Amino acid sequence: MKTILGIDIGGSGIKGAPVNVKKGVLAAERYRIPTPQPSTPDAIGDTVAEIASHFDWKGPIGCTFPAVIKKGVIYTAANVDKSWIGVNGRKLLKRKTGCPVLLLNDADAAGIAEMEYGAGRRQKEKGVIFLLTFGTGIGSAVFVNGSLLPNTELGHMEMNGMEAEHYASDLARKEENLDWNEWAGRVNEYLNLLEALFSPDLFVLGGGVSKKHREFLPLLRTQARVVPAQLLNEAGIVGAALAAKALV
């Protein structure tokens, strides 16, 4: 199958589009709906179904979710309603959409896309590569010689007495009205902590703020090379669709 629907569930918005999985590009303009509040399983499930209906979709769906996911079951809920914990999200979304669904961690999906089509493709089988998404939280995807270590969720590491994403996410930048120098200083602290623990070879920085990378990338100081994500905010959609090829 050449085209698969990818849907990216985030803390502030849920967006989707059919994806040409051979080229790694959207096959139609993406459709976005604000994440319902409260973001309960039924409410998000209905929103995902609305996106599938918008495209009159009948085939397989790849869908991201901001949580640890094992065999379709949700184990954490940092930026969505806590009622998700313990829910088989894959079965719920399959029932809501009437389509086969593959559900995976949101940052893992973005990483899959960047490794296949974006910033990591030339180095995907060499060393340790981190894809970090800076948005409502901080998502992480870790690849070792091209293989994904799933569900790392390194945005929840402790920094300065709080979770890293509460200190260095793009949301923290906006809520605390930090200028680029101030925020880059926090991101540097976070990247330095990851370097001390994992000695990565490459950081790929994505998420909503990545389209403004010229404002902060020159301010970062790391041993590993740091590059902006190339698929920007479409990486989750593309990676979810690519992962869902397993359903075909």
The three-state secondary structure class of 70 is strand
How far from 188 is each of 27, 102, 103, 111, CA to CA, in Å? 36, 34, 31, 20
- Alpha-carbon distance 8 to 244, whole Å? 13
Total H helices, total E strands in the chain: 8, 15
Amino acid at 208: G
> Which residues, at least 6 apart from 178, have a Cβ–Cβ distance to it below 8 Å?
172, 186
Q: 51, 55, 155, 61: which is closest to 108 by C-alpha?
A: 155
Widest CA span of the chain, in angstroms?
48
Please report the pLDDT score of residue 124 as a whole number: 64
* Rg of the chain taking only CA atoms, in angstroms: 17
Which pTM was predicted? 0.93
Order the strands of the 138-144 sheet from edge to edge.
147-149, 138-144, 128-134, 202-206, 225-228
Q: Which two tokens stand for residue 162?
A: 């709080």
Report the C-alpha gap between 242 and 226 in whole angstroms. Answer: 25
Is residue 17 within 8 A of residue 30, CB to CB? The reply is: yes
**Domains with residue ranges and CATH for the chain:** 3-108+235-247 (3.30.420.40), 123-230 (3.30.420.40)
Q: Return the closest-CA partner of residue 8 out of 109, 82, 89.
A: 109
| pLDDT digit string (tens) for the chain, length 248 residues | 799 999 999 888 999 999 999 999 999 999 999 999 999 999 999 999 999 999 999 999 999 999 999 999 999 998 899 999 999 999 999 999 999 999 999 999 999 999 999 988 877 667 999 999 998 889 999 999 999 999 999 999 999 999 999 999 999 999 999 999 999 999 999 999 999 999 999 999 998 898 899 999 999 999 999 999 999 889 999 999 999 998 87
